[in-house]
Structure 1
Amino acid sequence: MNDERPPGTVLLRNGSVYSPADPFATAMVTDGATVAWIGSEGAADGFADSVDEVVDLDGALVTPAFTDAHVHTTSTGLALTGLDLGTATGLADALARVAAHAAARPDDQVLLGHGWDETRWPERRPPSRAELDAACAGRPLYLSRTDVHSALASTALAHVARRLDGYHDDAPLTRDAHHAVRRAALAAVSPAQRADAQRAALRHAASQGIATLHECAGPDISSQDDLTGLLALAAAEPGPRVFGYWAQAVSRPADLDAIRDLGALGAAGDLFVDGSLGSHTACLSGPYADADHTGTAYLTAERIADHVTVCTEGGVQAGFHAIGDAAVAAVLDGVRRAAARVGVERVRAARHRVEHAEMLDAAAIAGFAELGLVASVQPAFDAAWGGDAGMYADRLGADRARGLNPYAALLKAGVPLALGSDSPVTPLDPWGTVRAAAFHRTPEHRISVRAAFTAHTRGGWRAIRRDDAGTLVPGAPADYAVWGTGDLVVQVPDERVANWSTDPRSGTPGLPDLTPGEPLPRALRTVVAGRVVHERPNE
C-alpha cells in the first residue's frame, strides 16, 4: 500500500544490502529521500534509538530499485485491465476471448486488446476481419500484435485507414494505416479510463520492485494529453517516478520548445527508423527469410542527422527506434553526419539513445562506442523469440538470428546498456529481464547477472544522463526494494562456472540465483524517495 506520510528516518537491519559502499553490509539508514548510511549489523545498534522506524529485514535482500528504460504506461495499464491475448492458445481461443470481452464491456466506445502472436498458434495466421466482426458483433475493435507494430481492427474501426499506406482488407494493418487506427482507438478512451489504466500500470510496476519508468511516448504511439496526464499523475501520487520522451523529429531549434513544454526529457524513444521483425517491418539490408522484401524505412540518414544536430545544439537528448541492420546503419550514418557538424565530443556528451538496437554487427557496435550512444535494450525479446526455432529464426534464418542482441560484445566495447521491457510488448518483470540477459539463447551474447542487474538499475539512470542514482551509497536517492529470495550467489555467463557462492575474500556482493527454473525473487517492499509505494501483505 502507499504510505502518504512524509518520509522520516528509517533503519533497515538484519538482512543483506547490495551496495558498492560495503559488499558485506547488513543494514542501511535512510533520511527522508536520501540514503544516509550503509554498514554492519553491529554498527546499526548506534542508530536504533534515533530513527523514526526500525525495519527487521529477517534475512531479506535490499537492492537499488529497478529502472525500466522503455515502457508504454497507458497501453500497459489497458492490457492489464483489458483483453489479454498474449496467452491465447490459438485462433479459436483468441476469437472466444474477443467475444467474451465484448459481451462483458457493452458500454465501451471501442474494444481494446493486446498481445496476439500468430507465430505461436497452430494455425499460423491471425483472425480475418470477417471473423473479428462476428466475434465483436460489429463493434469498433483494436487488437495490437505483441510487438505493437501491426494490429487487427474490425470493419467499424479499420475504415479510418482505408486509403493509407499499410492498409489491407484482410490482413494486419501496418505503417500509416496502423498508426491512424491506433490514434482513433486511443482517442475513444476517456480521460478517466486512461488515468485508471495509468494507475494500474504504476501499481504493477511498484509491485515488481520498479521505482522508475521511462515513458516512450509520441504522436504515432499515444498523444500529448496522454503524456502530460501521465507525468502529472506520477508527480501527484505516490508511486514510481516517470520520465517521459516524446518521439517527434525536429528540424529547427524552435521545435524543441514544444518538446520541453510537454515535460519530456528528449525528442527520443520510439522515433521510428523502422518497425519490428514480427510484423516484417524492421528494415533489413537483405530480404526476410519468409518474405520477399526488406521491411520498412521511416527516416533517412539525412533526416536523422538534422534531428541529432538540432537536439545536440539545444542540449536535448535525441534517440531512435531501430531494430533491423539497415535501420541501425541509417542511425549511425545520421549521427556521424551530425557529429561532423557539431563535433563528436558534443554528440558523445549528449548520450543519445537507440531503442532496441537488435541487429548489430561488429562495425555497428564500434560505431555505438565511438558516438557514445546508449543501447536501450529488452532481453525478454530474446527469451520470447530467440533461438534456432523461434520467431527470429523464422524471419531471418537461424544464422542471421544468432547475431541478434549481442549484449556481451556491447559491454566489451564500452557501450552503455539500459535494460527495459517495452511493456506491454513483454511484461514488467525486471528479474526475468536480468535472467534473460544472463541466459541469452545464444551463449556468446550472455552477460553476468551482476552486469545485467547494473544495466537495469544504474544503467537506466545513466540513460537519462544522471550518474548519481541507481546504486545504494550515502547521498544517493532512497529508491530501493526489499526482496524475499533464496541463497545469494555470483553468476557469470560461462557455463563451466555458472554460479558459485560468494567468497568473502572476493569482496563481491551476491545476487539471487537466476538459473532458469529457480523461482524469481518477490518484492516485499518498494520505496521511492523514501516513501513506501508497495508493500506485500503478510502471508
Structure 2
Amino acid sequence: MTDRTTRTVLLRGGNVHSPADPFATAMVVQGETVAWIGSEGAADAYVDGADEVVDLAGALVTPAFVDAHVHATSTGLALTGLDLTGCPSLAEALARLERQVKQERAHGRLGTPEEGVLIGHGWDETGWPENRPPTRQELDAAADGAPVYLSRTDVHSAVASTALRALAERSTGLCSLAGHHPDGPLSRDAHHAVRRTALARITPEQRRDAQQATLHRAASLGIGALHECAGPDISSADDLAGLLVLAAEGGGPEVFGYWGELGAVETARRLGAVGVGGDLFVDGALGSRTACLHQAYLDAPHTGAAYLTAEQVAGHVAACTEAGLQAGFHAIGDAALSAVLEGVRTAARQVGLERVRALRHRVEHAELLDDAAVAAFAELGLVASVQPAFDAAWGGEDGMYAQRLGAERARQLNPFARLLRAGVPLAFGSDAPVTPLDPWGTVRAAAFHRTPEHRISVRAAFTAHTRGGWRALGRDDAGVLVPGAPAGFAVWQTGELVVQAPDSRVAGWSTDPRSGTPGLPDLSPGLPLPECLATVVRGRVVHGSL
C-alpha cells in the first residue's frame, strides 16, 4: 500500500469499526477504495486475489480522524520552536524565552532586529501564580533586543517586544490601532497588525518546515484530513497556497482550505479554497476578553469586541450562496452568534432558505448558545465546527470560563448534547495551536464534558470527529468504512472495546456483542489513549506501516 494503484490489500485478524458489519474483523482495499468488509472466515475467499495480506494482530481499524479547524503554520512553529502551553509560571515563561533566543542566535536564525523573528505561543496567565502576562520591559530583557511575538493560548492577543513593535509601527501605524497597549498584550486590530508583521518575516523554508511538522504530527495521530482556517488576519494567501501545494504532494493528510475574508469569493477560488470562512472573525475569544457578549464580563467592564455586523454577515452569506461556495464565521460570544444568526436568516430571505441550507454554511466555535440559538442553527442548516478540548482546558467551576463569565453563564458553554438533539451537524477540531492535535483526547473531552448535561456518547463524539468533518465539506461518502468509501483509515493498538455513553447515564458502557454496535476504546478519564500504528489516506500509508 505504497501508491495509488489498483493493488488489492487484505487486512485481517483485527477489529474493523464499520456500520456495515459490527462484528467485522477484515477489510479489503483496492487502490483508493474500500472494496469489502466482513468476518475472518469470509476473508479466506480474498486471499488468492490479494497483492498483500496484512495481519492486524488484533488491532482496531477505524476511519481516520478529520480535524475541522487548524492553523498549520502556527501549529508547526509551536511544535518546532517556543511552545509555552502548560508553562507553570510567568518566571518560567521568561526563562524559556531567554533560552530560545540564545538557541536561535547560536544557529544563525536570529540576528539584528532587522533579521528574523522569534514566534512563540501558548502562554496563559490565568494559571500562573503571578496572574498576569509579561510586561514589555520583561519581554525585552528576556529577548535581548530580538523581535519577539508570543501569542496567548487563544491566539486573540499577544505580547510583542519593542523591536517587533517598532517594525509594526513603521508598516501599520501600530500605536493608533484599536487594541494597542503600550506595555501589555495587544488585541483586536493591533494584534492582527503585529501578527502580520511577525509572520511576514518567516522565510518560505521556515514556513514549509513548520507546515510539514504539522502534517507529520497529524498523520502520527491518525488524522487523515485537516481543515485549514486561513485568512488575511490569521496567516496569508501565500501561506495557504504553500500549504495546499505541500499537501497535494501526498505525504500526509489531505488539506482543505478556508479563506476567512469578507466577500472574498474570487480570492478563495483563486487560492483553491473550499469555502470563504473559517476564521472570518465576528468576535474574538473569551480568554482575551474579546468574545462579544450581550452582558459584560464578570472580570472586565465591557462586552468584548464586535468585528462584523449582522448586515455584513447577510451580504457575505448571500454572495457565497450565489457563488455556490460555503461561508463560515468565527463566533464565540452570544452577541456575536446573534449577529451571525440574524445575518444568515436575512440572507435566506434574499436567496432562499433551501439554497442556504444546501451549502451547510459553518460557524466556528459557537460556544455561548441558548435554546433559541440552537434551534436557529437547525433551521438554517448551519454546521457547528466546535472544539471539545476548550471545555477540557477552561471549563468547570474554577476554570477560565467561570473567571470570565461567572459559573452560571460558564455552564451554558459548548452544549454539544443540545446541539445533537436539535439535529445540528457537529464537526470536531482542535483549533491547533490553541489546543493540541489530539483526536482521541477530543472525543474524550466531549464524552466527559465538565458540564454533565452537555456530554454526548463516545460513539457520537467519534462520528463528529470522523464523518462529521467530511459532512462539513459536503462529502457524505467519506469518514466511514463501508464498501465503496474512500480508503482513509487508521490502525490502533488499544485495550478492550466497549459501547460507551456519558458516565452520568445508567449502564454507561457495555461489552455485550448482542448490542450489535461497533465498539470503540474505553476513554474513561485516567485510561491511556489508543496508539496509532498506521494512518492511510486514499490507500496510501502516510504514517507507520501495514
TM range, smaller chain: over 0.9
SS at match of 2:87: coil
1:509-532 Cα distance to aligned partner (Å, 9 max, x none): 110000000100010000000000
1:155 is matched with 162
Partner of 1:235: 248
Separation in 1 of the partners of 2:257 and 2:23?
36
Taking the aligned partners of 1:507 and 1:87, their CA distance within structure 2 comes to 41
Q: Is 1:447 aligned to 2:476, yes or no?
A: no
- 8 Å Cα contact 1:317-1:351 kept in structure 2: yes
CA contact (8 A) 2:4 2:32 kept: no
Contact 1:16 1:62 in 2 (8 A): yes
Whole-angstrom distance in 1 between the partners of 2:177 and 2:545: 48
Instruction: Using the TM superposition, give the Cα deviation of residue 503 of structure 1 relative to its aligned residue in structure 2, in angstroms.
Output: 2.1
Query: CA shift at 1:280, angstroms?
Result: 0.2
Partner of residue 78, structure 1: 77
The corresponding residue for 1:37 is 36
The answer to whether structure 1 residue 518 and structure 2 residue 527 are counterparts is yes
The offset of 1:500, in angstroms, is 2.7
CA–CA distance in structure 1, aligned partners of residues 3 and 464 of structure 2: 30
* Residues 413-424 of structure 1 mapped to structure 2, 5 A cutoff: 413-424=422-433
Q: Of 159, 178, 191, which residue of structure 2 is paired with 1:178?
A: 191
The secondary structure found in structure 2 opposite 1:105 is helix
User: Which SS does the other structure have where 2:69 is aligned?
Assistant: strand
1:6 to partner: Cα distance: 4.5
Q: Is the 8 A contact 2:466 2:480 kept in 1?
A: yes
C-alpha distance in structure 2 between counterparts of 1:392 and 1:498, whole Å:
31
CA distance in 2, matches of 1:196, 1:536: 23
Aligned to 1:476: 485
Q: What residue number does 1:117 align with?
A: 124
Q: Does 1:493 align with 2:502?
A: yes
**Residue 451 of structure 1 aligns to a residue in which SS?**
helix
Aligned to 2:182: 169
Equivalent positions of 1:17-416 (< 5 A) are 17-106=16-105, 107-108=109-110, 109-159=116-166, 160=168, 161-250=174-263, 255-416=264-425
SS at match of 2:186: coil
Q: How far, CA to CA, are the matches of 2:2 and 2:405 in structure 1?
A: 49
Q: 2:35 aligns to what SS in structure 1? A: strand
- Read off the aligned partner of 2:164 and give its amino acid letter: L
Distance 2:139 2:378 in 1: 47
TM-superposed CA distance for 1:170, in Å, is 1.1
- Alpha-carbon spacing, 1:34–1:167, altered in 2? closer, same or farther (3 Å): same
SS of 1:435's equivalent in the other structure is helix
SS at match of 2:176: coil
Q: Is the 8 A contact 1:60 1:485 kept in 2?
A: yes
- Secondary structure at 1:333's aligned position in 2? helix
8 Å CA contact 2:5–2:32 kept in 1: the answer is no
CA distances 1:378-429 after superposition (whole Å, capped 9, x unpaired): 0000000000000000000000000000000000000000000000000000
Displacement of 1:497 in angstroms is 3.0
What is the distance in 2 between the residues matched to 1:381 and 1:494? Answer: 20
For residues 83 and 203 of structure 1, the distance between their equivalents in structure 2, rounded to whole angstroms, comes to 18
Deviation at 1:536, TM superposition (A): 6.7
- Structure 2: gaps (5+ residues): 111-115, 169-173
Kindly indicate whether the alpha-carbon contact (under 8 Å) linking 2:331 and 2:337 is maintained by their aligned counterparts in 1.
yes
Residue equivalent to 1:508: 517
Deviation sequence 1:27-78 (CA, Å, 0-9, x none): 0000000000000000111111211111111111000000000000011111
| Contact 1:151–1:174 under 8 Å retained in 2 | yes
Contact 2:230 2:260 in 1 (8 A): yes
Letter in 2 for 1:492: A
Q: Is the 8 A contact 1:142 1:182 kept in 2?
A: yes
| Other structure's SS at 1:113 match | strand
Does 49-58 or 181-190 show the bigger shift?
49-58
Give yes or no for contact 1:6–1:531 (8 Å, CA) kept in 2. Answer: no
Deviation at 1:5?
7.2
Contact kept, 8 Å, 2:4 with 2:31, in 1: the verdict is: no
Secondary structure of the residue aligned to 1:447 is: coil
Distance 1:375 1:248 in 2: 19
Distance of 1:520 and 1:533 partners within structure 2: 21
What is the CA-CA distance between 1:171 and the residue it aligns to? 1.1
Letter in 1 for 2:242: G
Which segments of structure 1 move beyond 6 Å, counting only runs of 4 or more?
Answer: none
**Cα contact 2:4–2:538 (8 A) shared by 1:** no
Shift of 1:3: 4.1
Contact 1:4–1:238 at 8 Å: present in 2 too? no
Cα distance change on mapping 1:173 and 1:498 into 2, 3 Å = farther
Q: Distance in 1 between matches of 2:350 and 2:507?
A: 47
What is the CA distance between 1:22 and its match in structure 2?
Answer: 0.4
Secondary structure, counterpart of 2:514 in structure 1: helix
User: Any idea what the Cα deviations from partners look like across 1:116-138, whole Å, max 9, x if unmatched?
Assistant: 00001011001100000000101
Contact kept? 1:7, 1:531, Cα under 8 Å = no
CA distance in 2, matches of 1:497, 1:482: 31
Matched, 1:463 2:472: yes
Bigger CA drift: 154-163 or 58-67? 154-163
Post-superposition offset of 1:343: 1.0
TM-score normalised by structure 2 residue count: 0.96
Compare 433-442 and 2-11 and name the one that shifted more: 2-11
Other-structure match for 1:436: 445
C-alpha separation between the residues in 2 aligned to 1:307 and 1:245? 14
- Please state how far the C-alpha of 1:504 moved relative to its aligned partner: 2.2
Measured after TM superposition, the shift of residue 495 of structure 1 is 2.2
Which stretch shifts more, 479-488 or 504-513? 504-513
Q: Deviations over 1:153-191 (max 9, x none)?
A: 000112322221111011100011100111110111000
Given that residues 69 and 214 in structure 1 are in contact (C-alpha distance below 8 angstroms), is that contact kept between their aligned partners in structure 2?
yes
The alignment's TM-score, normalised by the length of structure 1, stands at 0.97
5+ residue gaps, structure 1, are none
Q: What CA deviation, in whole Å up to 9, does each residue of 1:328-360 have, x standing for no partner? A: 000000001101101111111110000000000
Count of residue correspondences: 532
What is the distance in 2 between the residues matched to 1:122 and 1:518? 30
CA contact (8 A) 1:348 1:372 kept: yes
Q: CA deviation at 1:301?
A: 0.2
| Distance of 1:498 and 1:378 partners within structure 2 | 27
Q: Distance in 2 between matches of 1:449 and 1:212?
A: 20
Match of 1:530 among 533, 536, 539: 539
Determine helix, strand or coil for the equivalent of 1:37.
Answer: strand
Paired AA for residue 214 in structure 1: H
For residues 347 and 50 of structure 1, what CA distance do their matches in structure 2 show? 47
